[in-house]
Amino acid sequence: MFRSNRFLYPFAVCLLAACEGDLGPAGPTGTQGPQGPAGSTATYTAGAGISISGNVISTALSSDDGDGPNSGSNLLHWNRLTGVPGGLADGTDDGPPLADGSVTNAKLAPDAVTSGKIANGTVAAADLAPGAVTLATTFVTGDTWIMDPGDRFGGSQNCPTGIAIGGGWTVSSPTDRGIHVQQSYQQSPTSWVLTFVNTGATTNTVTAYVLCLTIAP
């Protein structure tokens, strides 16, 4: 014969529903565990481009110190870069050759092409515009000598600017034929040598000149 037991019913429900009671009081604190190993006592020194403040380490690579390439305090070696174009990564900064006629006046900075960048003898007449070069000659007064009969004098006469291309002279007594030129030659691009002898019977004053050629753009 089946018989219900009202006292067993709640216990069966708790078993099916996994009933839990209230949390009990905390147990006593356990004993302290063993001490861990000692930490590092090393000190650190900031290298170039690095700064240490407390426990913060910073780099200066994101800012500009005002110096140009290969100088200053925030340097980074070329080998540490990423994304370098292939034309530079090969270690040779040559790039593709310039096509003929690709460099025009508009692409050159003022005074970018100086005489030092032009090989000697490469500028021909066809490279110059009409009237681009003007030639001018000037006589520059040189030395003056008072020459007695039998005297020999001479010296180098210098152009302050331009090229020495010749020499000349004047005498105080043009009718006296006793002054003769013994030497007349270019000593350097800017100097001309003149030497004289007085074969006459009277004293004469001789003034030497040098003929200077200047080229104006």
Write the Ramachandran bin of 146: left for phi over 0, alpha for psi from -120 to 50, otherwise beta.
beta
Which pair of tokens denotes residue 110? 């003022």
pLDDT along the chain (217 residues), means of 10: 49 54 81 81 71 77 74 76 78 75 86 86 84 88 94 94 92 84 94 94 93 87
- Rounded Cα distance between 126 and 66, Å, is 47
One-character DSSP codes across 23-87: -----PPPPPPPPPPPPP-------TTEEEETTEEEESTTS--S--TT-SSS---GGG-SS--HH
40-56 pLDDT, tens digit each: 666 777 776 677 787 78
pLDDT at 137: 92
158-169 pLDDT, tens digit each: 999 999 999 999
Contact 193, 155 (CB under 8 A): yes
Q: Torsion angle of alpha carbons 157, 162, 164, 165, nearest 10°?
A: -150
Query: What are the boundaries of each domain within the chain?
Result: 134-216
The predicted model scores a pTM of 0.43
Provide the 8-state DSSP code for 124.
Answer: -
Residue with tokens 């481009």, as numbered in its chain: 49
